[in-house]
């Protein structure tokens, strides 16, 4: 047999996941969205929501790409549409905002075409707000992703500035296949969210809710419609988190989620929560706990993710979460167990154990993970099946009461249910009590 045929034979069973295309597109759109809303001093002020491009765009001829929707019918909408003074001040603010825009470095304002027009002007709980539209010829640029050079519709989102005068808080362009930013915080205090009306009821959600039973969900509050723009005023005292979702009501699946606010936030600190166990590594770290069960990363990932997602509702258009490590083994009662750390968007990661298989499977939530702890992982299994503890590149010992320390392993270990403390030894030695 030739080497070529040997290599072919060795890969016969290797098939891509049916979800690869969907996952890749979501991930790619997220990368673009983050790149466009690049980090900078203004990034925390701007908080944009992206909507799936095919729903937000329409094409007028081969060279003009525009936003789609009732708002773009040539008229000015909103209860301030007849206020010529306000419209004029909005247009003046638009023209003056380009030099300081995050998108200025991408050259989108260098070849403006036609006149700017206010397409919506209305009253919001935070004060008057507006949407401005103007065409520009976009050229290829090192930091802009275009399907082709040509005329694109630019949008400017306007709110009342600190001095009450119209201020452009964000601008965007409709790159095909890219999340288009079509919602914004009207005020710098983030009390009012505005979004371009999609023609269907929109809801807004301010974060994941983690139940004690391991469930993870979101609730969506309806936004009010105002002649082309949907508005929502945050209840007093509400502090918007890092992942605010907009969705088409009722939101029953990830496909209903139309945008995630918070993409301008650098996620690296959050990623460290997952990375603590293998800093700088690629792929997943697998830590066997002992027992007869032998599994690889793919098997562990599949079992862990299926269990976590079965307890998750609401969805996210970008990432369904993942773990970068798994500890697994067989418990004293003979059940297989997998432990991992799951993170949704920018939220703190959570620890979960999946015990047993099939109809007898038990899902055990372990709470938030603190990577700075000397023992970041300590999850107690039900039915006295023990504790799974982990601290990467540390030696682990346990004891029961005042008994002798018993070596349990390195990196991760399954220790008896009656254990009362774990001693973690690296450069130093720390005793961590196990709270029953």
* Contacts with another protein, residue ranges (CB under 8 A): 1-17, 20-21, 23-25, 27-32, 35, 53-54, 140, 145-148, 176-177, 278, 280-285, 296-298, 301
Beta carbons of 279 and 82 less than 8 angstroms apart:
no
State the Cα–Cα distance between residues 351 and 338, nearest whole angstrom: 11
Compute the distance between CA of residue 381 and CA of residue 155 in angstroms, rounded to an integer. Answer: 54
Q: Using the structure block, give the residue that is written with the tokens 């362009």.
A: 173
Q: Are 354 and 403 in contact (CB under 8 A)?
A: no
Closest CA to 90 of 30, 159, 179: 159
Cβ-based nearer residue to another protein, 12 or 85: 12
139 vs 190, beta carbon nearer another protein = 139
33 half-sphere exposure, CB direction, 13 A CA radius: 29
For residues 278 and 395, which CB has a smaller minimum distance to another protein in the complex? 278
CB of 376 to another protein, least distance (A): 18
With respect to another protein, which residue has the nearer C-beta, 24 or 219? 24
Q: Give which of 116, 118, 157, 110 is closest to 137, Cα–Cα.
A: 110
Least distance between another protein and beta carbon 205 (Å):
25
Calculate ∠ Cα 374-375-381, nearest 5°. 170
Q: In the complex, what is the shortest distance from the CB of residue 141 to another protein, in angstroms, rounded to a whole number? A: 10
Residues 202, 230 contacting (CB under 8 angstroms) = yes
276 closest CA partner among 344, 375, 352:
375
Which residue matches tokens 């079992």? 303
The whole-angstrom separation of Cα 219 and Cα 244 is: 11
Q: How many residues does the chain have?
A: 436
Neighbours of 53 (CB within 10 A): 18
DSSP code for 400 = S
Q: How far apart are the first and last CA of the chain?
A: 61
Residue 252 CB, shortest distance to another protein, in Å, is 24
3 or 239: CB nearest another protein: 3
Nearest approach, Cβ of residue 18 and another protein (Å) = 10
Work out how close the CB of 385 gets to another protein at its nearest, in angstroms, rounded to a whole number.
27
Q: Supply the Cα-derived Rg of the chain in whole angstroms.
A: 26
- Nearest CB to another protein, comparing residues 157 and 318: 318
Minimum distance of another protein from residue 142's CB (angstroms): 10
In the complex, least distance from residue 318 CB atom to another protein, rounded to whole angstroms: 11
Residue (114 or 281) nearer to another protein, CB: 281
- Nearer Cβ to another protein (167/179): 179
Closest approach of Cβ 178 to another protein, in Å?
Answer: 8
2 versus 163: smaller Cβ distance to another protein? 2
Report cis status (omega within 30 of 0) of the bond before 250: yes
Please report the sign of the dihedral spanned by the C-alpha atoms of residue 370, residue 371, residue 374, residue 375. Answer: positive
């Amino acid at each position: 047999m030739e080497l070529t045929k040997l290599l072919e034979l060795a890969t016969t069973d290797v098939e891509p996941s049916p979800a690869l295309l969907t996952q890749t597109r979501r991930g790619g759109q997220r990368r673009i969205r983050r790149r466009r809303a690049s980090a900078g001093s203004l990034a925390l002020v701007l908080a944009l929501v992206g909507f799936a491009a095919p729903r937000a765009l329409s094409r007028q001829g081969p060279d003009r790409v525009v936003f789609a929707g009732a708002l773009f019918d040539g008229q000015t909408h909103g209860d301030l549409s007849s206020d010529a003074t306000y419209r004029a001040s909005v247009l003046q603010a638009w023209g003056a905002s380009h030099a300081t825009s995050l998108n200025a470095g991408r050259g989108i304002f260098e070849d403006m075409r036609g006149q700017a027009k206010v397409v919506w002007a209305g009253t919001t709980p935070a004060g008057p707000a507006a949407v401005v539209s103007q065409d520009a010829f976009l050229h290829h640029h090192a930091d802009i992703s275009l399907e082709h050079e040509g005329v694109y519709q630019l949008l400017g989102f306007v709110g009342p500035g600190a001095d009450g005068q119209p201020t452009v808080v964000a601008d965007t362009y409709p790159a095909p296949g890219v999340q288009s930013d079509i919602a914004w915080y009207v005020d710098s205090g983030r009390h009012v969210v505005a979004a371009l009306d999609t023609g269907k009821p929109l809801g807004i959600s301010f974060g994941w809710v983690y139940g004690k039973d391991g469930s993870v969900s979101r609730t969506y509050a309806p936004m009010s419609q105002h002649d082309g723009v949907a508005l929502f005023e945050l209840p007093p005292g509400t502090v918007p988190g890092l992942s605010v979702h907009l969705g088409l009501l009722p939101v029953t699946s990830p496909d209903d989620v139309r945008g995630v606010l918070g993409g301008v936030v650098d996620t690296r600190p959050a990623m460290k929560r997952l990375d603590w166990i293998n800093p700088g590594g690629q792929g997943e770290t697998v830590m066997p706990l002992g027992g007869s069960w032998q599994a690889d990363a793919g098997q562990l990932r599949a079992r862990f993710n299926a269990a976590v997602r079965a307890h998750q509702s609401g969805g996210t258009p970008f990432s369904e979460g993942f773990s970068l490590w798994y500890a697994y083994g067989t418990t004293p009662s003979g059940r297989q167990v997998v432990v991992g750390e799951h993170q949704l968007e920018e939220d703190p990661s959570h620890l979960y154990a999946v015990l047993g298989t099939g109809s007898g499977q038990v899902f055990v939530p372990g709470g938030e993970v603190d990577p700075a702890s000397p023992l970041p992982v300590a999850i107690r299994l039900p039915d006295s099946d023990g504790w799974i503890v982990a601290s990467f590149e540390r030696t682990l010992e346990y004891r029961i009461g005042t008994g002798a320390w018993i070596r349990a392993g390195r990196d991760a270990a399954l220790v008896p249910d009656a254990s009362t403390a774990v001693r973690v030894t690296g450069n130093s030695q720390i005793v961590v009590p196990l709270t029953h």
